[in-house]
Structure 1
């Protein structure tokens, strides 16, 4: 994806769709800033397009995610599993958390499960610590070898609980948007969490979703269909 490329359209949502189509990505995967929200003017006088700027390209290594989609279905070499286990164990021990690390081929991804008495510290606020560690491990493992399968770091079933919690937020927000006939802005979320909302609500015929904002303030808005 090109850096700092600008796109124009009649409104911000259309500009995002235009950028996504041009760059070959899903709209929710774009990281962009709104340069001008545009204006319809008065009786067509003074109208101007909305403008957005795509900020940066997507990383080669997938960012931390809880939406576990299939990457490859081939068998993972045992030496790769052992290397992941060794690296993960070294990081956990360096953090002073202790515990046991189990790494195995889960079919759609490589699971690295950590059992520790300090799960809350490992996970961190809103999963920030475990997501950062997951990104670090993926980056280190695939730095000098071809990508095989995404490595998912988990502890005490945190990932599934988080998915269910976000789906609950999405469900309640959709009901509220329909009931109140207005757009509902969700709290700021990571790209992985936003993706869970988009996927969960994509088949709901009464609402649509879009991502808005920049950086850590990027969030999903649930919009009722007219």
Structure 2
């Protein structure tokens, strides 16, 4: 059964932008019908109505094809570099029951334990060899995908950012950024396979990664507010490891919620749990 969701804005264009930001889809990928184009009312104040659109949500069949595509990418990487080269992913203990339980952590060490793997490593200098290898690797992959793409690099302590300019940005990014993620994954492995000090690699196209990170943070704050207001877990479906990490970090310092990845495979659900407020258990004792 096709699932839909309505979005609104001061005009149709704004409603479309709101839908794209929340669903993390491009305008080309968005399937929608205009319910109402809205009206400005009298002098833009009295009787003004927002525009509304109805969006067809991505179905599970599409998600399965995405999973198959990523599995194909992983098999190629395993064959080329070995299974032990996959990116380490945060392992968060799965609940014993199907329904997530909302529990207040019993100790102050919960936050440190939950996000221990997200601690920033000691900075290392990015070598000239790493920069040259990174540019060459990304350039070769880009040339196989599109024409007229050029790669440049800049460094910031242990971060190597490789920027692609020109070519067909849509094809290089891929649906939900999957092609770009795969290029970053492979480049990371090529640079770090013989390096003692790990270099953090980022591949970006026309600022796409920063835009996606900003949209994910906005979504994280919005869903956290929803969880706190309703007192019930809020779920974000079908997220990659990299996207889940952005949400985890965005809410890491929010003491009123906690986050947990759930499910199997490359794409998993991320659940935001509201923490129970500490109740006052002390009772006054009166002498008889």
TM-score between both structures, scaled by the size of structure 2: 0.53
Q: Does 2:203 match 1:142?
A: no
Which residue in 1 is equivalent to 2:158? 108
CA distance in 2 between partners of 1:167 and 1:97 (Å): 33
Q: Which runs of 5+ in 1 are unaligned?
A: 1-27, 40-66
CA contact (8 A) 1:76 1:148 kept: no
Please, what is the CA RMSD of the aligned residues? 2.6
Q: Does 2:188 match 1:127?
A: no
Greater relative CO, 1 or 2 (CA 8 Å, sep 6+):
1
Counterparts of 1:49-198 in structure 2, within 5 Å, are 70-198=120-248
Structure 1 pair 166–180 and aligned structure 2 pair: CA distance change class (3 A):
same
The structure with more radius of gyration? 2
- Report how many aligned residue pairs link the two structures: 171
CA distance in 2 between partners of 1:38 and 1:75 (Å): 45
CA distance in 2 between partners of 1:148 and 1:104 (Å): 16
SS in 2 for 1:172: helix
Q: Which runs of 5+ in 2 are unaligned?
A: 1-88, 100-117, 277-288
Structure 1 stretches of 4+ with a deviation exceeding 6 A read 31-34
CA contact (8 A) 1:101 1:113 kept: yes
CA contact (8 A) 2:92 2:260 kept: no
User: 1:76 Cα deviation (Å)?
Assistant: 2.3
Which residue in 2 is equivalent to 1:209? 259
CA contact (8 A) 1:104 1:112 kept: yes
